[in-house]
Amino acid sequence: MAARTKRAPTRSNGSSKQARGTGKRTLAIDIGGTGLKALVLDERGEKLTERVRVETPKPATPESVITALVALVKPLAPFDRVSVGFPGVVSMGGSTLTAPNLDKAWRKFALKNSLERRLKRPVRVLNDAGVQGFGVIEGQGVEMVLTLGTGMGCALYVDGRYVPNLELAHHPFNGKSTYEEHVGGKALAKLGKKKWNKHVAAVLEQIDPIWNPRRIYIGGGNAKHLRLELPPHVRVTDNVAGLLGGIRLWDER
């Protein structure tokens, strides 16, 4: 299996204590079908707090999820702005258009505006795989991120620029079923790890000659179950990248 990608450490001229007390503090939130996660980052994208997590409420309506998030982040350090990774298509204005593994009420829900009212801070929202990619990509050529969790997330980048609204998970694959039905959380539970790994290999074989990415990064909570021999250009990433990439949502470049 290919080596897991690690985020390069950031160097500073001053002491770490001095550096960590300056600049904007970003609250990074990851909304998942199984869990809600959050931590606070400094201006360089380094962790100021430990990651906190709670189970995603059932039913996962906008109100129940936002209420749980507000309670989750309350004990964290002060923050100036908020980055959110969401498991579905997100409009440029921060509204959620799809949420296949949450509740139907998320369709056309103004998540950005709702969180700004509750947290009293500016908020930016992006697809969760898109945020994770910003934590690991190199910014050269075509790069793709696949996340394996409750569902299957996908993000595409060209020279470091995010291509929005790519929802590969629900595209037909191998007949009438979809990519997500082959490698999502339900498939893992039903098939077992050995057969699920074969499905992941088949998905990679399908994707590679279509998109021809220079690099594919695999993340998500179920990436830890991968046991197949991955091609040299495919790397497994740390799951925390889904939060660390949040700082990049505020990079105006």
Count how many Cα atoms sit within 13 Å of the Cα of residue 41 in the half-sphere of its side chain.
26
Q: Is residue 88 part of a domain?
A: yes
Q: Is residue 251 part of a domain?
A: no
Q: Are residues 121 and 161 in the same domain?
A: no
Output the pTM of the full model. 0.86
Q: Are residues 223 and 189 in the same domain?
A: yes
Per-residue pLDDT of the chain (253 residues; tens, 9 = 90+): 554 554 433 333 333 333 344 589 999 999 999 999 999 999 988 999 999 999 999 999 999 999 999 999 999 979 999 999 999 999 989 999 999 999 999 999 999 999 999 999 999 999 999 999 999 999 999 999 999 999 999 999 999 999 998 889 999 987 778 999 999 999 999 999 999 999 999 999 999 999 999 999 999 999 999 999 999 999 999 878 878 899 999 986 5
Q: Are residues 126 and 105 in the same domain?
A: yes
Q: Is residue 214 part of a domain?
A: yes
Q: Is residue 13 part of a domain?
A: no
Q: Is residue 247 part of a domain?
A: no
Query: Cα separation of 232 and 215, whole Å?
Result: 9
Token match 């360089």: residue? 44
Contact indicator for 137, 124 with CB cutoff of 8 Å: no
State the residue range of the domain holding 166.
Answer: 138-236
Entry field: residues in the chain: 253
Q: Are residues 83 and 175 in the same domain?
A: no
Q: Which residues pair with 81 in a beta bridge?
A: 26
Q: Are residues 147 and 219 in the same domain?
A: yes
- The count of other CB atoms within 10 Å of the CB of residue 63 is 13
Domains identified in the chain, total number: 2
Q: Are residues 54 and 144 in the same domain?
A: no
- Ranges assigned E (strand) in the chain: 4-5, 26-31, 35-41, 52-55, 81-86, 123-127, 142-148, 152-158, 161-163, 215-219, 234-237
Q: Are residues 48 and 94 in the same domain?
A: yes
Query: Cα separation of 138 and 213, whole Å?
Result: 12
Give the domain CATH number at 45. 3.30.420.40
First to last CA, the chain: 35
Cβ contacts of 194 within 8 Å, gap of 6 or more:
227
Q: Is residue 184 part of a domain?
A: yes
Q: Are residues 146 and 223 in the same domain?
A: yes
Closest by CA to 14, choosing from 38, 50, 43, is: 43
Q: Are residues 98 and 34 in the same domain?
A: yes
Q: Are residues 145 and 126 in the same domain?
A: no
